[in-house]
Amino acid sequence: MFDLTDKIAVITGAGRGIGLAMAQSFAEAGAKVAVVSRTESNAAKAAEAINAKHPGAARAYAVDVADGAAVAEMGKQVLADFGKVDILVNNAGLTRDGLILRMSEEDWDAVLDTNLKGAFHMLKAFQRSLLKQKDARIINVASIIGLMGNAGQANYAASKAGLIGLTKSLAREFAGRGVTVNAIAPGFIATDMTDVLSDEIKTGILSKIPLGSMGTVDDIAAAARFLASVEARYITGQVLVVDGGMVM
Ligand SMILES: NC(=O)c1ccc[n+]([C@@H]2O[C@H](COP(=O)([O-])OP(=O)(O)OC[C@H]3O[C@@H](n4cnc5c(N)ncnc54)[C@H](O)[C@@H]3O)[C@@H](O)[C@H]2O)c1
């Protein structure tokens, strides 16, 4: 079940957190993984850890997904190294939280440029190869904040809602080619991104999660592995919410 043997996957933000867990899970399923991270050391460390368990499964690429020209170069290198791409996971993301009254244009742009435009850049780099595969998969990591909004996260919510709109449009454009495009909307997952929240905020969030705990990176990796698999071939344009029941 959920076997990815001989598949080539590109995962952004795979140096740590959710992206790293996805890369490990995909490698375990038999895929070869291009581990894309902004920092070279994180990408290299992640690929090394994966290769220790699954020799030859991972290669590291350092790129800022917000930089279109750099992404195009990295894309050429990935295709030269692997020959094709079957699965693209747009997972790289960041937050620059603040109330809209005080939000700077810089913080707005930084979040939109990485979370939303980064996915566009990655798509441009790999669209031809993905469309050639006939059964390719695109998975965009959105957030429940893109569905429900959040005070203090207007930029982040807009980027994730935008990613959901992008997902549905691409799903329609690519459906005739057998390529599925879906989004995962994680709730509150224990990673560096949520580690910075105060205990008070974490307690407040926990009280709103019906299943009673924060999610783990493996919960999101499992959802991605399913959407990447042949078993999910009839699912496209969907937002798979993985949040312990917060949004229902
Ligand atoms: N942790 C959560 O609770 C949660 C909830 C909903 C959605 N998400 C989303 O899941 C994704 C992964 O988040 P995480 O919790 O693992 O966060 P994280 O901060 O641990 O990891 C994010 C990764 O993205 C990379 N990244 C950031 N900007 C980049 C850029 N411009 N170019 C290339 N790489 C870049 C970082 O280097 C890092 O490796 C993000 O898109 C995030 O918005 C997380």
Spell out the residues 6+ positions from residue 89 whose beta carbon is closer than 8 angstroms to its own.
9, 10, 11, 12, 19, 22, 138, 139, 140, 141, 224, 228
The closest of 18, 133, 141, 138 to 79, measured between CA atoms, is 133
pLDDT tens for each residue of 64-73 = 999 999 999 9
- The pLDDT of 21-28, averaged and rounded, is 98
Which of 65-69, 91-95, 177-181, 195-199 has the least mean pLDDT? 195-199
- The pLDDT of 82-95, averaged and rounded, is 98
Which of 5-19, 160-174, 189-203 has the least mean pLDDT? 189-203
Which residue among the candidates 2, 156, 174, 188 is catalytic per the annotation? 156
pLDDT of 178 reads: 96
Sign of the four-CA dihedral 142, 148, 150, 153: positive
Cα-to-centroid distance, 235 and ligand 1 (Å):
24
- The pLDDT of 106-129, averaged and rounded, is 98
Torsion of CA 65, 116, 234, 83, to 10 degrees: -20
- The pLDDT of 93-99, averaged and rounded, is 97
Cα-to-centroid distance, 156 and ligand 1 (Å):
12
Which atom of ligand 1 is closest in space to residue 114's alpha carbon? Answer: 31
Which atom of ligand 1 is closest in space to residue 39's alpha carbon? Answer: 37
- The pLDDT of 121-138, averaged and rounded, is 97
Residue 3 covered by a domain: no
- The pLDDT of 79-101, averaged and rounded, is 98
109 pocket-lining for ligand 1 (C-beta < 6 Å): no
> What is the number of alpha carbons within 13 Å of residue 187 lying toward its C-beta?
21
Range of the domain at 105: 8-241
Which atom of ligand 1 is closest in space to residue 186's alpha carbon? Answer: 6
Residue 103 covered by a domain: yes
Residue 37 and residue 91 in contact, taking contact as beta carbons nearer than 8 Å: no
Sequence-ordered alpha helix ranges (H) in the chain = 17-28, 40-53, 68-82, 105-115, 117-133, 145-148, 154-174, 192-195, 199-206, 217-228
| Largest separation between any pair of C-alpha atoms in the chain | 51
Q: What is the CATH number of the domain that holds 169?
A: 3.40.50.720
pLDDT tens for each residue of 191-212 = 999 999 999 999 999 999 999 9
Instruction: Give the residue carrying structure tokens 């005739």.
Output: 176
Residue 246 covered by a domain: no
Residue 141 covered by a domain: yes
65 pocket-lining for ligand 1 (C-beta < 6 Å): yes
Cα-to-centroid distance, 70 and ligand 1 (Å):
19
16 pocket-lining for ligand 1 (C-beta < 6 Å): yes
Residues 84 and 81: their CA atoms lie apart, in Å, by 9
**Residue 188 CB burial class (10 angstroms; 0-12, 13-18, ≥19):** buried
Could you give the 3-state DSSP secondary structure of residue 185? strand
Residue 1's pLDDT band, with cuts at 50, 70 and 90, is confident
3-state SS record for 25-43: HHHHCCCEEEEEECCHHHH
Residue 139 covered by a domain: yes
Cα-to-centroid distance, 176 and ligand 1 (Å):
31
Spell out the residues 6+ positions from residue 200 whose beta carbon is closer than 8 angstroms to its own.
none
Residue with CA closest to ligand 1 atom 1? 189
**Predicted structure pTM score:** 0.98
pLDDT of 134 reads: 87
Residue 129 covered by a domain: yes
pLDDT above 90: residue 13: yes
Residue 248 covered by a domain: no
- The pLDDT of 19-44, averaged and rounded, is 98
How many domains does the chain divide into? 1
pLDDT of 15 reads: 97
Cα-to-centroid distance, 208 and ligand 1 (Å):
22
146 pocket-lining for ligand 1 (C-beta < 6 Å): no
Q: Specify whether 61 is catalytic.
A: no
Residue 196 covered by a domain: yes
pLDDT tens for each residue of 222-231 = 999 999 999 9
The closest of 242, 220, 225 to 33, measured between CA atoms, is 225
